[in-house]
Amino acid sequence: MDFLNIGSGEFFFLVLLAILLVGPKRAVEWTQQAVRLMARIRQEWLAVQRDVVREVQALQQETVSTLQPALQEVVPGHPDWQQEVAETVQPIRETAREIQVLQTQVASLTEKLKPTSDFAG
């Protein structure tokens, strides 16, 4: 276990110290409150993550729905149609890359915040 750079022995020492300072009954109550707080923080983080993913998907949908009519207006007989499509698609690809980077960052943050098996209730 390496939670907040605290090893197993150090954690055990802190638990014993807490029991000695506040008594076993209060230590149990405080532990239960801490576990509830951690669970609440995890729930809130997951809600934020769901909201971010939902917004990213909405942006993707909006981009596609905005792009479809523009692509349908392009007449293949027009001499510069390929140039116009390329100019339209390039910013969209850049936005898609940014969205993928954001999704990767959100996923990595979620991995970092997952509870370890030591704290699983």
3 state SS of 3: strand
- Any domain includes 120: no
- Any domain includes 20: yes
Each residue's pLDDT, cut to its tens digit, for the chain (121 residues) gives 455 677 778 878 887 888 888 887 888 888 889 889 989 999 999 999 999 999 988 988 888 888 777 766 665 556 666 777 778 788 888 888 888 888 888 888 777 776 665 554 4
Structural domain boundaries, residue 73: 8-113
- Any domain includes 121: no
- Any domain includes 49: yes
- Any domain includes 14: yes
- Any domain includes 28: yes
pTM greater than 0.75 (yes/no): no
- Any domain includes 119: no
As given in the structure block, the two tokens for residue 15 are: 């638990």
120 φ, ψ (degrees, to nearest 5) = -65, 135
CB 93 within 8 A of CB 111: no
b/e 46-84 (16+ beta carbons within 10 angstroms → b): eeebeeeeeebeeeeeeeeeeeeeeeeeeeeeeeeeeee
- Separation of alpha carbons 43 and 29, rounded Å: 21
Structural domains of the chain, count: 1
- Any domain includes 54: yes
